[in-house]
């Protein structure tokens, strides 16, 4: 027992505002009525399809304790529920009003078609559905895959199939979450992945979370933080909002933490939305001025430091404070923590990446790590923590408009390499990214849009624009396990629904790649099967084989997922060992515990690259607020509860600082309207520990405020922030 870290003396935090993890167990138990044995087998024999921390059943490779989180429990219903009554789809006119209920209606059991002008969907056979879609694939095609439990095998087979029909326009959910991390890390350290392992958290001197809230998004990680605190690790947080779950957390599977909770964050540094570069550059400026640098590491293992030193020297404290909203003293405090730490892990998420200058945000973080030599050794690292189990593998498998398997850029030379390997021509120029596909569809320049999972209406800015875009292609194909609101948008042509299997249903088993680069095998789990659902890898390869019958033998995988893993190993050398994974618990961590070991970077000169990062020009109109979209009790766009257990916020809450609420005379619960250049959002005031001048609302409800044109220059990620005025309704 370590009382100094206790969050409360009240047993189980009785009376405190916090999620009830044991109630979650009961809700999960009720939700899988009739399939509880199957649900138990999924929990104990499968690799989690929730966040990207990765498990084998309910255990992992970081510590020998039970791991089970609310996200995984909430996904159990999707993985075990019976088939949808397809009679509900004969006339879908009433279903859009039930958008929050659609996924709970049941699994998609059969291929369905809605022809232009018809009121709903009718059942269709697989042969007819595939032939209809394949006949249209000679036009302009865009393909998008979500990260919803999608394994490496589906990603790899899909991207190969799409390239066989002659386009590179395939993209995945990584585009709208961590694509700036991919771009910036590849340029700076030569690898687009975390450089360390979860075990490096435990015993590190310092962990810094920047724009990241694992208590909501990666709850299993909170157990790692509990053990890190027990080992003496200091935890700092750089964020606009002092997240309650990062202040105190009750780990349900650990007796001490379950009883008394755990104080998590030791040092909080508040910054404006979009002010991270100002703060991080200020921290680096202090490191330089106080000589808190690892000069030996900089001289031996990096390049470009002099340019960065000159860049931050030219940035005045006044400009850094104005942008960040933090004081020079705040920046000094974090610089001192970093300067005195012998080891540190820097962790970030979408609070950093989902900006029009997301790549620059990541480069500013990398500069700090390189300046202190916090790469390539125990208890150190750069960690873009992933939110979904399929994200890390998606780009590495090549399901990326701008990248081929292994993360190789789309160039004539790289295209020729894969053409020789696979036996057919590969397009030599990048394809349409996810956001570009919607633009092309809206402009009438996309003939076919295929969406495997996902829901553009609920994940992209400006839902009205997305709805118009979805209505215009001559054919839309939605591959999924359940209904989504985007399927109900009437099309200019036919709309096909193709039922997919979950990862637990796929014969031969599948793999996922976790945040720590661990490729984990998940076997097929015995249980009920739904109608005529197919594995997605088979759907994509069969579509391509029918569109290009001359290449059919080069595209299909008669050997199933084992044959796909063999092809992955041939195509992606650093995935060596994936072909040998075939049993529960089998795994291989590519690169080992650390990338860039002992400062040897996988760049052409084996050095890490510093990058000067200028200050973005954020000119907030007088009287307006900076608005960010946040996550509540949800997984991706799937909202599980209307109220967040951490802070009591409803989905219509407008989180605002007490200072601003008092200044404007707004009581808690007061109705207010936020208005941006693109739309308006009406909600209710909720006072929160937020930086003055900043407001937060939930995503996707707040997407009406977002400017669809604001995207980062390289990664093409949408900016999920806005300027808005706030007025009483």
Q: What confidence tens digit (pLDDT) does each residue in 300-344 have?
A: 999 999 999 999 999 999 999 999 999 999 999 999 999 999 999
Lowest mean pLDDT among 93-102, 458-467, 520-529, 637-646: 637-646
Q: Looking at the predicted structure, is the pLDDT value of residue 346 above 90?
A: yes
Instruction: Tell how strand 671-675 and strand 344-348 pair up.
Output: unpaired
| Local confidence band at 97 (pLDDT 50, 70, 90 cut-offs) | confident
- Sole residue written with tokens 């962990």: 207
* Six token digits for residue 395: 């780009």
Tell me the C-alpha distance between 546 and 548, whole Å.
5
Burial class (CB within 10 angstroms; exposed 0-12, middle 13-18, buried 19+) of 617: exposed
> What's the whole-number mean pLDDT along residues 76-104?
92
pLDDT for 561: 98
| Local confidence band at 15 (pLDDT 50, 70, 90 cut-offs) | confident
Closest CA to 41 of 650, 553, 463, 523: 523
pLDDT for 639: 80
Q: What confidence tens digit (pLDDT) does each residue in 447-497 have?
A: 999 999 989 999 999 999 999 999 999 999 999 999 999 999 999 999 999
| Local confidence band at 608 (pLDDT 50, 70, 90 cut-offs) | very high
Q: Looking at the predicted structure, is the pLDDT value of residue 147 above 80?
A: no
Closest CA to 210 of 191, 185, 187, 236: 236
> What's the whole-number mean pLDDT along residues 702-711?
94
pLDDT for 651: 94
> What's the whole-number mean pLDDT along residues 686-709?
96
Tell me the C-alpha distance between 269 and 644, whole Å.
23
Tell me the C-alpha distance between 353 and 179, whole Å.
8
Closest CA to 469 of 499, 498, 497, 432: 432
pLDDT for 202: 97
* Six token digits for residue 553: 């033998």
Tell me the C-alpha distance between 338 and 347, whole Å.
14
pLDDT for 625: 97
**Residue 191's Cα: distance from chain center in Å?**
18
Cβ contacts of 559-563, under 8 Å, gap ≥ 24: 560/507, 560/508, 561/153, 561/506, 561/507, 561/508, 561/509, 561/510, 561/535, 561/537, 562/508
> What's the whole-number mean pLDDT along residues 204-232?
94
Within 8 A by CB and 6+ apart from 425, the residues are: 166, 415, 419
> What's the whole-number mean pLDDT along residues 687-698?
97
| Local confidence band at 361 (pLDDT 50, 70, 90 cut-offs) | very high
Q: Cα dist. 720→234, 273, 351, 401, 675 in Å?
A: 30, 11, 9, 21, 15
pLDDT for 413: 98
| Local confidence band at 84 (pLDDT 50, 70, 90 cut-offs) | very high
> What's the whole-number mean pLDDT along residues 197-202?
97
**Crossing angle for the helix pair 328-340 and 276-289, to the nearest 10 degrees:** 60
| Local confidence band at 18 (pLDDT 50, 70, 90 cut-offs) | confident
Please give the CATH superfamily to which domain 195-385+605-609 belongs. Dimethylsulfoxide Reductase, domain 2 (3.40.228.10)
> What's the whole-number mean pLDDT along residues 497-513?
97
Q: What confidence tens digit (pLDDT) does each residue in 158-174 have?
A: 999 999 999 999 999 98
Q: Round the average pLDDT of the chain to a whole number and report it.
A: 95
Instruction: Tell how strand 475-480 and strand 448-452 pair up.
Output: parallel
Q: What confidence tens digit (pLDDT) does each residue in 655-667 have?
A: 999 999 999 999 9
**Crossing angle for the helix pair 560-571 and 412-422, to the nearest 10 degrees:** 140
SS (H, E, C) 317-346: HHHHHHHHCCCHHHHHHHHHHHHHCCCEEE
Within 8 A by CB and 6+ apart from 295, the residues are: none
**Domain locations in the chain as residue ranges:** 86-175+389-582, 195-385+605-609, 624-728
Q: How far apart are the first and last CA of the chain?
A: 51
Tell me the C-alpha distance between 588 and 599, whole Å.
22
Q: Which CATH class is domain 86-175+389-582?
A: alpha beta
Cβ contacts of 580-587, under 8 Å, gap ≥ 24: 581/511, 581/519, 581/520, 581/521, 582/509, 582/521, 583/521, 583/523, 584/45, 584/56, 584/57, 584/521, 584/523, 585/56, 585/57, 585/521, 586/520, 586/521, 587/56, 587/61, 587/518, 587/519, 587/520, 587/521
Look at residue 105 and give its three-state secondary structure.
helix
Residues 397, 156: contact at Cβ < 8 Å?
Answer: yes
Tell me the C-alpha distance between 190 and 609, whole Å.
9
Give the count of alpha carbons within 13 A of 530, CB side only. 31
> What's the whole-number mean pLDDT along residues 201-209?
98
pLDDT for 636: 75
pLDDT for 571: 98
Lowest mean pLDDT among 28-37, 134-143, 497-506: 28-37
Q: Cα dist. 616→306, 339, 436, 709 in Å?
A: 21, 26, 24, 17
- Sole residue written with tokens 């515990």: 593
Q: What is the CA radius of gyration of the chain?
A: 25
> What's the whole-number mean pLDDT along residues 60-88?
91
| Local confidence band at 21 (pLDDT 50, 70, 90 cut-offs) | confident
Q: Looking at the predicted structure, is the pLDDT value of residue 352 above 90?
A: yes
pTM beyond 0.85: the answer is: yes
pLDDT for 67: 85
Tell me the fold of 624-728: Barwin-like endoglucanases (2.40.40)
Q: What confidence tens digit (pLDDT) does each residue in 627-645 have?
A: 999 988 777 777 878 889 8
> What's the whole-number mean pLDDT along residues 261-284?
97
Residues 248, 7: contact at Cβ < 8 Å?
Answer: yes
Cis peptide before 700 (omega within 30 of 0): yes
């Amino acid at each position: 027992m370590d009382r100094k870290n206790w969050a409360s003396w009240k047993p189980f935090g009785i009376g405190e505002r916090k999620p009830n993890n044991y109630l979650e167990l009961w809700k999960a138990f009720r939700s899988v009525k009739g399939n509880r044995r199957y649900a138990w087998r999924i929990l104990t024999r499968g690799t989690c399809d929730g966040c990207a921390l990765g498990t084998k059943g309910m255990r992992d490779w970081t510590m020998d304790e039970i791991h089970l989180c609310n996200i995984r429990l909430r996904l159990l219903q999707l993985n075990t529920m019976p088939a949808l009554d397809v009679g509900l789809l004969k006339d879908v006119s009433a279903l859009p009003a039930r958008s929050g209920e659609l996924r709970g209606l049941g699994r998609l059991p059969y291929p369905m078609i809605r022809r232009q002008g018809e009121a709903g969907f009718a059942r269709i056979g697989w042969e007819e559905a595939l032939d209809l879609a394949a006949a249209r694939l000679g036009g302009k095609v865009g393909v998008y895959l979500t990260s919803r439990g999608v394994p490496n095998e589906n990603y790899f087979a899909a991207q190969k199939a799409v390239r066989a029909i002659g386009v590179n326009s395939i993209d995945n959910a990584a585009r709208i979450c961590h694509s700036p991390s991919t771009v910036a890390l590849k340029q700076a350290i030569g690898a687009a992945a975390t450089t360390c392992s979860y075990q490096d958290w435990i015993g590190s001197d310092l962990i810094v979370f920047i724009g990241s809230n694992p208590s909501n998004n990666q709850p299993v990680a909170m157990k790692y933080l509990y053990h890190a605190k027990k080992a003496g690790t200091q935890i700092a947080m750089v964020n606009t909002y002092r997240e309650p779950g990062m202040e105190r957390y009750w780990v349900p599977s650990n007796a001490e933490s379950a009883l008394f909770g755990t104080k998590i964050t030791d040092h909080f540094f508040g910054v404006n939305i979009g002010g991270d570069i100002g703060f991080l550059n200020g921290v680096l400026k202090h490191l330089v001025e106080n000589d808190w640098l690892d000069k030996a590491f900089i001289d031996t293992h990096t390049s470009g430091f002099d340019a960065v030193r000159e860049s931050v020297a030219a940035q005045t404290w006044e400009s850094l404070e104005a942008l960040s909203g933090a004081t020079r003293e705040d920046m000094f405090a974090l610089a001192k923590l970093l300067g005195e730490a012998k080891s540190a892990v820097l962790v970030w998420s979408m609070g950093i990446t989902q900006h029009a200058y997301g790549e620059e945000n990541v480069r500013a973080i990398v500069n700090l790590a390189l300046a202190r030599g916090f790469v390539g050794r125990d208890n150190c690292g750069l960690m873009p923590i992933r939110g979904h189990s399929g994200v890390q593998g998606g780009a590495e498998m090549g399901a990326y408009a701008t990248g081929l398997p292994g993360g190789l850029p789309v160039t004539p030379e790289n295209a020729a390499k894969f053409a020789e390997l696979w036996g057919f021509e590969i397009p030599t120029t990048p394809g349409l990214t996810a956001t570009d596909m919607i633009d092309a569809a809206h402009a009438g320049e996309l003939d076919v849009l295929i969406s495997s999972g996902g829901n553009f209406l609920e994940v992209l800015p400006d839902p009205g624009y997305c709805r118009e875009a979805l209505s215009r292609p001559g054919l839309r194909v939605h591959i999924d396990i359940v209904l989504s609101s985007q399927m109900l948008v009437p099309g200019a042509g036919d709309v096909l629904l193709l039922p997919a299997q979950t990862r637990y249903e796929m014969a031969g088993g599948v793999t996922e790649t976790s945040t720590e680069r661990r490729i984990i095998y998940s076997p097929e789990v015995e249980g009920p099967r739904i109608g005529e659902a197919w594995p997605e890898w088979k759907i994509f390869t069969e579509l391509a084989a029918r569109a290009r019958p001359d290449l059919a033998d080069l595209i299909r995988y008669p050997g199933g997922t084992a044959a796909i893993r063999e092809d992955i190993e041939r195509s992606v050398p650093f995935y060596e060992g994936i072909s040998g994974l075939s049993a529960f618990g089998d795994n291989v961590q590519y690169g080992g515990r650390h990338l860039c070991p002992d400062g040897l970077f996988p760049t052409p000169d084996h050095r890490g690259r510093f990058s000067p990062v200028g200050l973005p020009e954020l000119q907030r109109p007088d009287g307006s607020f900076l608005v960010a979209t946040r996550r509540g009790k949800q997984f991706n766009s799937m909202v599980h509860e209307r109220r967040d257990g951490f802070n009591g916020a409803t989905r219509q809450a407008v989180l605002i600082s007490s200072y601003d609420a008092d200044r404007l005379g707004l009581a808690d619960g007061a109705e207010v309207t936020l208005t941006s250049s693109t739309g308006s959002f009406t909600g209710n005031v909720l006072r929160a520990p937020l930086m003055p001048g900043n407001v937060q609302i939930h995503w996707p409800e707040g997407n009406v405020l977002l400017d669809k044109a604001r995207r980062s220059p390289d990664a093409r990620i949408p900016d999920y922030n806005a300027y808005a005025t706030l007025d009483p309704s």
